[in-house]
Amino acid sequence: MITRTTQRQTSKSKEQIVDSAIRLISKYGFEQLTLDQVGVAANAKRYSIVAKYGNLGNLMQICLQSSLDSLALFLSLRSYRNDYREHKTEDFWALLAAFNTHNAEKASVICRYLRSPSIFQAQDFRTELINLLNPIYDNFEQGLLQKSNVHIRFISFKYLYQSACTYAENRSSGQLSHTASVSVYFNNKVAPELERILRLPIN
């Protein structure tokens, strides 16, 4: 009979494996990830990782799912606070920038997925993202985002997220001052390209 201590140890080792894989993906990307690298980082044997996750592809999917779950939780918690009361595109982008700042590794995993979503052809994470975005976009006060179709919504989110990732990276590396205004950055660098994307004739 499995004891509670053994169950906790198993759960902890699974968390360590996923956390280690997320760190490696955020640093090197999905394409460079190997089970041997994860084993070294998590102090786990290769056969133990295979026993828990089956193969590398499954582990990568779990890492992305964990990252998307963290984003969904972050957005849902913030949406009930003053951070997000205006329902403006700028507010949403500021939340994405905050997520990238406070959850850098998981944020980077999502950013890397958005750069090459074809890595997960068997799993439709795009639909999951659209389902997460639809209630948010439906409440925007700006007409173009509110009225856009699912393809434009995904493309616009991809751009907003990646620009938020760049903003957070530049701030953490010192390329941007920590006092740099989120609003000024959004209006000068993000909004003009977003406007162009929202007017694309995509059905």
**Where is pLDDT greater, at 173 or 55?**
55
In whole angstroms, give the CA distance from residue 141 to residue 45. 52
Q: Which residue has the higher pLDDT, 78 or 83?
A: 78
Least confident of 8-12, 98-102, 106-110, 161-165: 8-12
| Percent of the chain predicted with pLDDT > 70 | 81
Q: Which residues contact 94 (CB under 8 A, 6 or more apart)?
A: 83, 182, 186
Q: What distance in Å separates the CA atoms of residue 166 and residue 186, rounded to the nearest whole number?
A: 12
**pLDDT tens sequence across 127-162:** 888 888 888 777 765 556 666 777 888 888 999 999
Instruction: Please name the residues in contact with 117: beta carbons below 8 A apart, sequence gap of 6 or more.
Output: 125, 126
User: Is residue 200's pLDDT more than 60?
Assistant: yes
**Mean pLDDT, the chain, as a whole number?**
83
- Predicted confidence at residue 92, as pLDDT, reads 87
121 or 14, higher pLDDT: 14
Instruction: Give the residue, 79 or 65, on which the prediction is more confident.
Output: 65
Determine the average pLDDT of the residues in 8-24: 82
Q: Residues 6 or more apart from 155 whose CB is under 8 A from it? A: 197, 200, 202
Mean pLDDT of 34-41: 94
* pLDDT tens profile 173-199: 888 766 668 888 999 999 999 888 877
CA angle 92, 107, 22 (to 5 degrees): 160
